Structure 1
């Protein structure tokens, strides 16, 4: 059982007058914020406000990089050339770095978003492209992702630090990958059940897959999606349950 664990959420995902989630409340609960970088969500003014608020709350800022897909919210696979994907990821990290610096903060890690996150579990070329982008910007930047993924393999080759992430409110396949959002039951909603599930993940390193089997899971950081219905209630329940179990909540060091 780890003595401490990071609690993260995807934030800064509104755009203009389109509002998604309650970032301010979530920033009072999490220890790390995966902030959108403008290619799947997040306009510049919003991202400045989000980074400023994260800094005020003492929450670590990570670059949530994506395919260039505002219309699809970054949840559609794009068969992009590796060099182009590398450039897009460099661009996104650089943009958020500048915004974070403007409010006296820093980008401390990188986490892929949506379809890109899922693709690079197995897509070696795209996994290598994303890892190369992070390394090109700053080889000291850790990356969040799925343990055992192609992304982690490629990050390891470049000497990047990898941080294994588990999902509080997403269902798992028996092979340890996430159930597609296109399938029923992919996203979980009951706060109490989710809190119990996360406590089991953290304390035993196990989770129940959709077929009822028990699978092993590595947990250094737990993600609660900020755009899920009831996200604040879920994050509160998870936070309180982990603290009750004696787990310290802190950003990964």
Structure 2
């Protein structure tokens, strides 16, 4: 079987950057569309879904804590049932717009601090994974590789897509370095592409304390608002192609080996 990796990006979060988001779709295989919790509205959802459809990019929901003022970057102290209700409403709204456009959603990836909380809070992760899988049984759940959400998805019987990051630093516990700390962001196309290749091929990464870690992931996130994200995506594509690694959404069939020989 030919090696492959998914490259994803979070899109539809900034109305002033939609042209960038649409351009980036030429270089990724899946996308996560903001659906109202931290950003996005019916119009932006429709525009992102159309662009994903036209580019052949797998589209998923990107729900968050209901926190538009804080862009979903703060943990909200809210009852789990209320949080779950909000997440289901957000994903349902995107699914409604997608159905109108004839686009089949493929996955759900939480956003921001909710994403981090689901990686670390077992009780929350289990409740959210179970609820989302019951509400949307055909959609895969996406989350941080080696986090609580991964085991929670397995417990719920949901398909899980483990995610790594090409433009963020890691701690020794395989968590992301907080954005407020040194080493949180990886700058430069070559450094980002090197991290992408390391994760895709199971090679070690250097954590922020200098130790070596392994991140086992099926999908790699490139933040659309990272400076130079489109050029980074091109560089990653070049590096992956040089190693015979296809960029495909999870679940897509691998390339026929003969196709690689014809490239």
Query: What TM-score bracket applies, with the shorter chain setting the length?
Result: over 0.9
Partner Cα separation in structure 1 for residue 168 and residue 109 of structure 2: 17
Q: 1:177 to 1:147 in 2, by over 3 A?
A: same
Partner Cα separation in structure 1 for residue 3 and residue 129 of structure 2: 29
Partner Cα separation in structure 2 for residue 203 and residue 21 of structure 1: 32
Aligned length: 251
**Residues 101-110 or 135-144, more deviating:** 135-144
Partner Cα separation in structure 2 for residue 227 and residue 2 of structure 1: 31
Task: Give the alignment partner of residue 37 of structure 1, picking from 9, 18, 35.
Answer: 35
Q: CA deviation at 1:139?
A: 1.9
Q: What corresponds to 1:98 in structure 2? A: 96
Q: CA deviation at 1:149?
A: 1.5
Q: What corresponds to 1:80 in structure 2? A: 78
| Partners of 1:21 and 1:231 within 8 A in 2 | no
Q: What corresponds to 2:3 in structure 1? A: 3
Question: Per-residue displacement from partner, 1:203-233 (whole Å, max 9, x unpaired)?
Answer: 2342111111110111200110011111111
Q: What corresponds to 1:188 in structure 2? A: 186
Alignment of 1:107-118 (within 5 A): 107-118=105-116
Greater helix share, 1 or 2?
Answer: 2
Q: What corresponds to 2:246 in structure 1? A: 248
Task: Give the alignment partner of residue 233 of structure 2, picking from 232, 235, 239.
Answer: 235
Partner Cα separation in structure 2 for residue 55 and residue 208 of structure 1: 37
Partner Cα separation in structure 1 for residue 151 and residue 205 of structure 2: 23
Alignment of 1:64-75 (within 5 A): 64-75=62-73
SS of the equivalent of 2:27 reads coil
Question: Per-residue displacement from partner, 1:12-56 (whole Å, max 9, x unpaired)?
Answer: 1124xx446711111100000111111101122111011011001
Q: CA deviation at 1:73?
A: 1.1
| Partners of 2:126 and 2:156 within 8 A in 1 | no
Q: CA deviation at 1:160?
A: 0.4
SS of the equivalent of 2:234 reads helix
Q: CA deviation at 1:2?
A: 7.1
TM-score (norm 2): 0.91
Q: What corresponds to 1:13 in structure 2? A: 13
Partner Cα separation in structure 1 for residue 125 and residue 69 of structure 2: 23
2:193 is the alignment partner of 1:203: no
Divergent runs of 4+, >4 A: none
Structure 1: state its 5+ residue gaps.
none
Alignment of 1:109-148 (within 5 A): 109-148=107-146
Q: What corresponds to 2:210 in structure 1? A: 212
| Partners of 2:64 and 2:72 within 8 A in 1 | yes
SS of the equivalent of 1:156 reads helix
SS of the equivalent of 2:120 reads coil
Partner Cα separation in structure 1 for residue 72 and residue 101 of structure 2: 26
Q: What corresponds to 2:59 in structure 1? A: 61
Q: What corresponds to 2:171 in structure 1? A: 173
